[in-house]
């Protein structure tokens, strides 16, 4: 198209090209390595302007257009960019990772090859209690004295499992059967190719503080070391409109308006009528949605109406 950047040749982002093949360490023996990429911020702009045709001639600022696309959830232009990563990750985290079914994946096969001889180890100060509020999450750290024993027992389990596995291999047991008692802490490797739109969705979920700490470390490395270098304008918009943004429901907007107007009683009525608050023995009990609202109110410098 007229006056559009010529992207007929392969796009190069020098800052990203420089780190192709570099292993960014994660956890004790994991890594993320960039294998290849396609596209850049300009590719997103080009795709959007092809869709809009000459109607975008007044939109000369690539940054403004990318921010508009991100802000209004126009996702298809971001699919024009792709990245291929080589990752080394513990199997328990890989189970969460592979739930994102919008990528092309080839994983290291322990049916054909000997299992990777390493497992994720937990330091004494890294053990965490189960969260009281989140059934699938963790809470406060366990004391280091208890952690010392937990780490010792972990090492015993991992060592025994590896010894049993190796005995089976040495006896000629089929690899597909010999592997069955390896712990989920065993590392695996995979090639993972995904477009930018779906990668950003992955990062939004896995960088979130509610995600497991260990997979957050992978997501943070992918975001800061790869996506930030690759598409800096998109990364800025993503941080502003996804990572740093706040989603409010209709009820939450109404409650915030009432709280800001000092109408606490009306806010409590609305919360109770909507099922976000319940009363037991004269005490107001917030449900999960109400607790999340309290966090949003705190972020805005406001107190939940059911608090003291």
Is 5 a member of any domain?
no
For residue 235, the model assigns a pLDDT of 98
**Residue ranges with strand state E in 147-223:** 187-195
Same domain assignment for residues 267 and 149: no
Is 233 a member of any domain?
yes
Confidence of residue 55 (pLDDT cuts 50, 70, 90): very low
pTM of the predicted model as reported, rounded to 2 decimal places? 0.90
| Domain C-terminal end among 200, 217, 243 | 243
Same domain assignment for residues 162 and 71: no
Same domain assignment for residues 88 and 209: yes
Mean pLDDT of 49-69: 72
- pLDDT tens readout for residues 158-198: 999 999 999 999 999 999 999 999 999 999 999 999 999 99
Q: Exposed e or buried b for every residue in 14-49, given b needs 16+ CB within 10 A? A: eebeeeeeeebebbeebbbbbeebebbbbbbbbbbb
Domain that holds residue 227: 14-112+187-243
Same domain assignment for residues 154 and 280: no
Beta bridge partners of 110: none
Confidence of residue 2 (pLDDT cuts 50, 70, 90): very low
Same domain assignment for residues 26 and 67: yes
| Residue 283 scores a pLDDT above 80 | yes
For residue 137, the model assigns a pLDDT of 80
Catalytic residue among 206, 228, 250, 291: 206
- pLDDT tens readout for residues 102-126: 999 999 999 999 999 999 999 999 9
Same domain assignment for residues 73 and 203: yes
For residue 163, the model assigns a pLDDT of 98
Cα–Cα–Cα angle for 11, 14, 19, nearest 5°? 115
* Mean pLDDT for the chain overall: 92
- pLDDT tens readout for residues 220-261: 999 999 999 999 999 999 999 999 999 999 999 999 999 999
Confidence of residue 138 (pLDDT cuts 50, 70, 90): confident
For residue 259, the model assigns a pLDDT of 95
Same domain assignment for residues 237 and 175: no
Confidence of residue 135 (pLDDT cuts 50, 70, 90): confident
Helices (H) and strands (E) in the chain, counts: 13, 9
Same domain assignment for residues 207 and 102: yes
**131 vs 36, 128, 136, CA distance in Å?**
39, 9, 8
Cα dihedral 101, 107, 111, 116 in deg (nearest 10): -130
199: CATH:
3.30.1360.170
Same domain assignment for residues 88 and 204: yes
Q: How far apart are CA 202 and CA 195, in angstroms?
A: 11
Confidence of residue 58 (pLDDT cuts 50, 70, 90): very low
Q: Structural domain tally of the chain?
A: 3
Tokens, residue 38? 């396609």
Based on the residue annotation, tell me whether 250 is a catalytic residue of this protein. Answer: no
Mean pLDDT of 13-20: 97
């Amino acid at each position: 198209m007229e006056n559009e950047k010529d992207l007929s040749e392969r796009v190069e982002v020098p800052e990203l090209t420089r780190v192709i093949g570099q292993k960014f360490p994660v956890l004790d023996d994991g890594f993320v390595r960039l294998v290849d990429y396609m596209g850049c911020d300009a590719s997103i702009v080009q795709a959007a302007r092809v869709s809009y045709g000459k109607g975008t001639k007044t939109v000369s600022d690539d940054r403004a257009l990318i921010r508009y696309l991100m802000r209004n959830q126009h996702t298809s232009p971001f699919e024009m960019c792709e990245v291929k990563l080589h990752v080394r990750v513990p199997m328990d985290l890989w189970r969460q990772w592979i739930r994102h079914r919008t990528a092309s994946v080839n994983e290291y096969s322990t049916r054909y090859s000997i299992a990777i001889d390493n497992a994720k180890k937990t330091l004494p100060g890294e053990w965490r209690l189960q969260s009281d509020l989140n059934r699938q999450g963790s809470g406060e750290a366990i004391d280091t004295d208890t952690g010392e024993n937990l780490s010792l027992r972990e090492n015993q389990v991992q060592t025994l499992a590896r010894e049993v596995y190796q005995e089976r291999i040495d006896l000629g047991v089929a690899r597909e059967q010999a592997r069955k008692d390896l712990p989920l802490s065993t590392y695996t490797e995979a090639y993972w190719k995904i477009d930018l739109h779906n990668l950003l969705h992955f990062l939004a979920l896995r960088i979130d503080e509610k995600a497991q700490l260990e997979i957050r470390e992978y997501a943070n490395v992918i975001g800061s070391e790869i996506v930030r270098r690759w598409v800096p304008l998109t990364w800025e918009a993503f941080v502003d409109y996804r990572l740093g943004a706040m989603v409010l429901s209709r009820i939450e907007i109404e409650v915030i308006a009432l709280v800001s107007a000092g109408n606490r009683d009306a806010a409590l009525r609305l919360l109770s009528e909507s099922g976000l608050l319940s009363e037991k023995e004269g005490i107001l009990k917030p449900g999960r949605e109400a607790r999340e609202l309290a966090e949003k109110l705190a972020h805005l410098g406001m107190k939940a109406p059911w608090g003291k």
